[in-house]
Structure 1
């Protein structure tokens, strides 16, 4: 299936492992993503997720399937649903998700990266979203994620040209959070995920839920937001945080 999910303490790692195809995602792989992300969400021992490739992050959808599984309009619709469901499964995880990006991150690969909360990239990585070269209209939710990351002007340039951008440009426009030498990308992403896993989980998950609501256009508090406030002040995390502060020691969440 070419996707592997490994758990090491509080951090899980989802690896796209299809190097012969530059980690292009097959229909089977897209279809497997929701189930794998459900496992991450259901495992209480896992507090953060790293998404990575092998040598490359991902060259996107496997173009060789476009003449078979996407050979007609019905097939194209079915394939697109699998892609969109897979990407939304990443976005929907309530735990922090960090992308570790090396090599090419193109098309559906960039879509996966944008679904993550934080993106750490190699200083020689390359990025692009290329539906304009294929006659495909990019998914609305993924377009919004791109606009949220880089703004409408750069989103327009990326989508309307289909051209690739280099890592320095990706950092400058906000497509990625930081650059590292290629060998340091996965360790840095794992360190960040481990740090997030060590923080008060009511704070981490509440913050992630708030960010998602703000990105979706919510401007005011509602009952769901206030429920997070209540969960915070009544949580074991809050009690431990206060005790640790008074005891002048690191908290143990």
Structure 2
């Protein structure tokens, strides 16, 4: 259903449930949270990708959600499982990339929003359709959507439930780049892992005064010393 592989400084989380278009049941969200807890601390970058052509993730598994009509306690269990997985992804210390190829629907968009960079393949399509199903969308995910595209575009996506293609996603800021997300992750991972973590912390909390000391301390890092040495050899 979900796999974790680490190579070349990149942790790759692969969604692999083709029969359900990579939709995750409650147990799948729990498995994703557990898997993210095992991401090596020294990974320079992480990419979330799909092994299923034409689909990133259809979001939550509707066959699993159908039981929530009558099983009231299961509603909380589902919400918490999904929230735990999405928040675990958002909280990772290394840069994260969503490699969106094909359809990203519903909670699949929430997964992408939890990443630092969203890369849309040529066939990417984004849709948030809970209004069609008579349900809401988690508040934390709505907040991330607003932060990315603004309240007006967030309202458009949520209220119309209409899909947008890669070009439109780029235009409104739902996606950051077009192309191959794995290639973007490789470009990120070619940089110093400690510097990447510091930069991510600064992006997350730019007004945190403690980051000034961390910035100054970074000049004493081995990576900076090596970079200066390379510069001197070539100048």
Q: Distance in 1 between matches of 2:174 and 2:15?
A: 20
Asked if residue 236 in structure 1 is aligned to residue 222 in structure 2, the reply is yes
Q: CA deviation at 1:72?
A: 3.0
TM-score, with length taken from structure 2: 0.92
Match of 1:51 among 48, 54, 72: 48
Q: Distance in 1 between matches of 2:143 and 2:228?
A: 38
Show structure 2 runs of 5+ residues with no match.
none
Give the structure 2 partner of residue 201 of structure 1: 193
Give the structure 1 partner of residue 38 of structure 2: 39
Alpha-carbon spacing, 1:246–1:111, altered in 2? closer, same or farther (3 Å)? same
Give the structure 1 partner of residue 111 of structure 2: 112
Alpha-carbon spacing, 1:172–1:9, altered in 2? closer, same or farther (3 Å)? same
- List per-residue Cα deviations over 1:114-154 (Å, max 9, x = no partner): 11111121222211112222333322221121112111110
Give the structure 2 partner of residue 24 of structure 1: 23
Q: Distance in 1 between matches of 2:167 and 2:71?
A: 39
Q: Distance in 1 between matches of 2:32 and 2:56?
A: 15
Q: CA deviation at 1:69?
A: 5.4
RMSD between aligned alpha carbons?
A: 1.8
- List per-residue Cα deviations over 1:80-126 (Å, max 9, x = no partner): 11001100111111111111111110001000011111112122221
Q: Is the CA contact (8 Å cut-off) linking 1:11 and 1:190 kept in structure 2?
A: no
Give the structure 2 partner of residue 87 of structure 1: 86
Give the structure 1 partner of residue 160 of structure 2: 161
Between 5-14 and 64-73, report the one with greater CA deviation. 64-73
Show structure 1 runs of 5+ residues with no match.
181-187, 215-219
Q: Is the CA contact (8 Å cut-off) linking 2:101 and 2:120 kept in structure 1?
A: yes
Asked if residue 211 in structure 1 is aligned to residue 191 in structure 2, the reply is no
Asked if residue 226 in structure 1 is aligned to residue 226 in structure 2, the reply is no
Alpha-carbon spacing, 1:68–1:227, altered in 2? closer, same or farther (3 Å)? farther
Map 1:124-139; keep pairs closer than 5 Å.
Answer: 124-139=123-138
- List per-residue Cα deviations over 1:171-196 (Å, max 9, x = no partner): 1111112223xxxxxxx322221221
Alpha-carbon spacing, 1:164–1:229, altered in 2? closer, same or farther (3 Å)? same
Alpha-carbon spacing, 1:211–1:3, altered in 2? closer, same or farther (3 Å)? same
- List per-residue Cα deviations over 1:26-57 (Å, max 9, x = no partner): 21110012221122143x2x211111112210
Aligned residues: 233
Alpha-carbon spacing, 1:166–1:110, altered in 2? closer, same or farther (3 Å)? same
Q: Distance in 1 between matches of 2:130 and 2:200?
A: 29
